[in-house]
């Protein structure tokens, strides 16, 4: 493991915020939170570093500030410099995969943590970042009604008011039950420019969504209303795979379905299902699933940055029109 950057003193919130992110938040600018698990555990070096830098560049090119989140030497960081990003990418799996349940242990031990969806949402909300971009979220696993294998991403969405931009969930999960669970948690689920919830590598899942949004401005209004009404729950905005990647997505989806059948034939159940399927998909697709995954993350970053800019603009218009808004007051935005 390469030498870590010097330890930084956290702010009173217990989080070290980069000057760039801090300045953007102070001025009401657009900021997009990014996770670090995809860098450490999602792909090999140097592909992970290249992807992380390209995703951050996409966010900046579209008018927002990227805020990659990780725990470094026991200090949660929001916004990483180039040296910290490189160390994260090189260290890879030596960084502990960190969900909300792991935060206290990693911080207390002075450890290094790559934040998952739930931990990234927690830290984003803690310092006031309303939008988080990822590839896909976790969900209810197949046979989850027996195993109770349900991702903490879903409960985090139920209690943390951050808008998550993702490509839906992978079809290795039980998508219908995932959507039912999100409803139980009070999470607004919207699909971007479609009426159907996307299944990560493919545009369709067979599951309809209760809300469709067709522009960054529409997304911004929903996020603002959620915050303004203090609902306390998150929002999931599902963005379908870009048309140009639909063909490779169908190949991957076919491999997933074949792997699911093989798992069923071999009577593989419980926690053993997901690793088995992911290994089989990698073999069956010759590794093409990685490139498709990267394309999805970049597309989500593009969409998320535009939504963040639209939300920033909306907030400024409301402030200019009404002045300072009372914390408990409702202000119409139409």
Catalytic residue selected from 22, 86, 156, 170: 170
- Asked if residue 327 belongs to a domain, the reply is no
30-54: b or e for each residue (b if 16 or more CB lie within 10 Å)?
bbbbbbbbbbbebbeeeebbebbee
Instruction: Point out the domain boundary residue: 101, 129, 157.
Output: 129
Residues 205 and 315 in one domain: yes
Contacts of 206 (CB under 8 A, 6+ apart): 175, 196
Residue with structure tokens 């896909």? Answer: 136
Residues 237 and 195 in one domain: yes
Catalytic residue selected from 22, 35, 156, 218: 35
Residue with structure tokens 């390469």? Answer: 2
The pLDDT tens digits for 2-28 are 444 444 556 666 899 999 999 999 999
Residues 153 and 103 in one domain: no
**Mean pLDDT for the chain overall:** 89
Q: What is the pLDDT of residue 325?
A: 52
Q: Show the low-confidence residues of the chain (pLDDT under 70).
A: 1-13, 246-247, 270-271, 323-334
Residues 191 and 303 in one domain: yes
Q: What is the pLDDT of residue 28?
A: 96
Residues 185 and 55 in one domain: no
Q: What is the pLDDT of residue 8?
A: 54
pTM: 0.90
- Asked if residue 232 belongs to a domain, the reply is yes
Residues 149 and 252 in one domain: yes
The CATH number of the domain where 294 resides is what?
A: 3.40.1790.10
- Asked if residue 4 belongs to a domain, the reply is no
Residues 198 and 108 in one domain: no
Instruction: Point out the domain boundary residue: 92, 112, 129.
Output: 129
Residues 139 and 238 in one domain: yes
Exposed, middle or buried, 237 (CB in 10 Å: 0-12/13-18/19+)? buried
* Measured distance between the N- and C-terminal CA atoms of the chain, rounded to whole angstroms: 53
Residues 112 and 183 in one domain: no
324 is catalytic: no
Contacts of 146 (CB under 8 A, 6+ apart): none
CB atoms under 10 Å from CB of 326, counted, come to 9
- Report the alpha-carbon distance of residue 194 to residue 208 in Å, rounded: 9
- Asked if residue 326 belongs to a domain, the reply is no
- Report the alpha-carbon distance of residue 276 to residue 262 in Å, rounded: 9
170 is catalytic: yes
Instruction: Point out the domain boundary residue: 71, 105, 129.
Output: 129
Number of domains in the chain: 2
Q: What is the pLDDT of residue 321?
A: 78
State the residue range of the domain holding 270.
135-321
Tokens of 226: 């959620």
Q: What is the pLDDT of residue 297?
A: 95
- Report the alpha-carbon distance of residue 48 to residue 94 in Å, rounded: 14
Residues 285 and 183 in one domain: yes
- Asked if residue 19 belongs to a domain, the reply is yes
Residues 248 and 148 in one domain: yes
- Asked if residue 43 belongs to a domain, the reply is yes
Residues 114 and 233 in one domain: no
- Asked if residue 23 belongs to a domain, the reply is yes
- Asked if residue 207 belongs to a domain, the reply is yes
């Amino acid at each position: 493991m390469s030498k870590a950057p010097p330890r930084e003193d956290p702010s009173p919130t217990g989080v070290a915020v980069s000057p760039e992110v801090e300045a953007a938040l102070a001025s009401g600018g657009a900021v997009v939170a990014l996770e670090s698990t995809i860098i450490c555990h999602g792909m090999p070096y140097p592909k992970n570093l290249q992807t992380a830098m390209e995703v951050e560049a996409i966010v900046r090119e579209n008018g927002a500030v990227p805020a990659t989140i990780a725990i470094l030497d026991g200090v949660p960081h929001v916004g990483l410099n180039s040296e910290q990003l490189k160390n994260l990418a090189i260290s890879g799996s030596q960084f502990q995969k960190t969900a909300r349940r792991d935060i206290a242990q990693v911080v207390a031990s002075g450890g290094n943590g790559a934040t998952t969806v739930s931990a990234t949402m927690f830290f984003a909300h803690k310092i006031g970042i309303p939008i988080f971009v990822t590839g896909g979220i976790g969900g209810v696993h197949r046979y989850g009604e027996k195993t109770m294998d349900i991702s903490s991403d879903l409960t985090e969405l139920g209690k943390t008011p951050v808008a998550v931009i993702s490509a839906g969930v992978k079809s290795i999960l039980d998508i219908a039950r995932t959507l039912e669970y999100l409803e139980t948690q009070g999470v607004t689920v919207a699909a971007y420019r479609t009426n159907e919830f996307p299944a990560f590598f493919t545009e369709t899942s067979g599951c309809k969504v209760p809300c469709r949004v067709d522009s960054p401005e529409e997304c911004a209004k929903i996020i603002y209303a959620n915050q303004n009404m203090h609902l306390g729950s998150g929002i999931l905005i599902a963005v379908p795979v870009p048309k140009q990647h639909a063909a490779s997505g169908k190949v991957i989806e076919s491999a997933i379905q074949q792997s699911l059948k093989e798992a069923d034939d071999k009577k593989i159940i419980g926690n053993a299902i997901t690793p088995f399927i992911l290994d089989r998909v990698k073999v069956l697709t010759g590794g093409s699933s990685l490139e498709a995954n990267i394309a999805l993350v970049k597309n989500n970053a593009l969409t998320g940055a535009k939504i963040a800019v639209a939300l920033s603009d909306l907030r400024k218009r409301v402030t200019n029109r009404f002045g300072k808004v009372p914390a408990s007051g409702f202000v119409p935005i139409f």
